[in-house]
Amino acid sequence: MRRIAAEFARNIGRLLYPQTCLICDAGAGDSAGVRHGLCNGCKVAVTTDPFPACPRCAHTVGPHTDTTHGCTECRGTALGFDQAFRLGPYDEPLRTAILRTKSLAGEGLADLLGRTFAECRGDAIRAAGIDLVAPVPLHWWRKWTRGYNQSEAVARELAAGLGLAFAPRLLRRVRWTPQQVQPTREARRENVKGAFRTTRRARVIGRTVLLVDDVMTTGSTLGEAARTVRAAGADRVVVAVLARK
State whether the Cα torsion 203-157-54-226 is positive or negative.
negative
Q: Give the pLDDT confidence score for residue 221 in this predicted structure.
A: 95
Q: Give the pLDDT confidence score for residue 200 in this predicted structure.
A: 79
Q: Give the pLDDT confidence score for residue 18 in this predicted structure.
A: 60
Residue type, 10: R
The pLDDT tens digits for 174-196 are: 887 766 555 566 777 778 888 89
Question: 116-145 as b/e, with b when 16 or more CB fall inside 10 Å?
Answer: bbbebbeeebeeeebbbbbbbbbbeeeeee
Instruction: Please give the backbone phi and psi of residue 239, each rounded to the nearest 5 degrees, phi first.
Output: -120, 150
Q: How far is CA 60 from CA 65, 85, 188, in A?
A: 10, 11, 20
Q: Which among 238, 16, 28, 8 is positioned nearest to 112, based on CA atoms?
A: 16
The pLDDT tens digits for 74-84 are: 999 999 999 99
The model's pTM: 0.87
Q: Give the pLDDT confidence score for residue 183 in this predicted structure.
A: 55
Domain ranges of the chain: 49-244
> Are the CB atoms for 156 and 168 separated by under 8 Å?
yes
The pLDDT tens digits for 126-158 are: 999 999 999 999 988 889 989 999 999 999 999
Instruction: Give the chain's end-to-end CA distance (angstroms, integer).
Output: 35
State whether the Cα torsion 107-109-111-114 is positive or negative.
negative
136-139 LR contacts (CB < 8 Å, sep 24+): 136/171, 136/211, 136/212, 136/213, 136/221, 136/222, 136/225, 137/171, 137/172, 137/173, 137/196, 138/173, 139/173, 139/175, 139/176, 139/177
> Are the CB atoms for 104 and 4 separated by under 8 Å?
yes
**Residue 208 burial class via C-beta count within 10 angstroms: exposed 0-12, middle 13-18, buried 19 and up:** middle
CA atoms of 239 and 223, how far apart (whole Å): 9
Q: Decide which of 1.10.10, 3.40.50, 2.60.460, 2.60.40 is the CATH code for 49-244.
A: 3.40.50
Q: Give the pLDDT confidence score for residue 29 in this predicted structure.
A: 58
Check pLDDT > 90 for residue 171: yes
The pLDDT tens digits for 43-88 are: 999 999 999 999 999 999 999 999 999 999 999 999 999 999 999 9
The pLDDT tens digits for 200-220 are: 778 999 999 999 999 999 999
